[in-house]
């Protein structure tokens, strides 16, 4: 590890301690990666890419030390809940549409049956030439 990398890690660890203690100096004090990066004075992507282990450690400490769920996890849980509700609604709509197709198919069959029985044999239009003469 080079010196800059070690320096970043040390600043992130110090920022983590300040955030968890509630003494943030350079951020809004929320328990997010953005606040941690701002507090440490490092770019957010540096924290996400080069120091992913520290990001995970931060979220773990937030869960254990504050008994709170991190903001990102809260948003994900809300999204999952909304998506599950959407899927349930779509499954309900799909079932209704399947029932409608079945009912319409049955109605079409009944109407076709009634039409065929009420007219006897259907008249042949003038522009149709039968391939075989009708058997009598």
The predicted-structure confidence for 77-127, as pLDDT tens digits, reads as follows 999 999 999 999 999 999 999 999 999 999 998 888 877 666 555 566 777
pTM score: 0.53
Q: Cβ contacts of residue 69 below 8 Å, gap of 6+? A: 63, 77
CB-based contact 24:10 (threshold 8 Å):
no
CB 16 within 8 A of CB 57: yes
**C-alpha R_g of the chain:** 35
3-state SS, one letter per residue, for 49-115: HCCHHHHHHHHHHHHHHHCCCCHHHHHHHHHHHHHHHHHHHHHHHHHHHHHHHHHHHHHHHHHHHHH
pLDDT at 86: 97
- The residues near 15 (Cβ < 8 Å, ≥ 6 apart) are 26, 27, 36, 39, 40, 41
């Amino acid at each position: 590890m080079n010196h800059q990398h070690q320096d970043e890690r040390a600043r992130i660890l110090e920022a983590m301690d300040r955030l968890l203690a509630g003494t943030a100096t350079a951020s809004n004090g929320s328990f997010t990666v953005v606040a941690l990066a701002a507090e440490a004075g490092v770019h957010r992507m540096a924290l996400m890419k080069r120091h992913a282990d520290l990001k995970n450690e931060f979220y773990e400490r937030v869960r254990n030390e504050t008994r709170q769920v991190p903001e990102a996890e809260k948003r994900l849980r809300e999204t999952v809940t909304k998506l599950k509700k959407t899927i349930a609604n779509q499954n309900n709509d799909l079932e209704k549409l399947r029932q409608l197709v079945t009912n319409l198919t049955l109605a079409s069959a009944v109407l076709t049956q009634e039409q065929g029985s009420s007219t006897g044999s259907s008249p042949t239009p003038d522009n149709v030439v039968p391939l075989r003469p009708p058997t009598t």
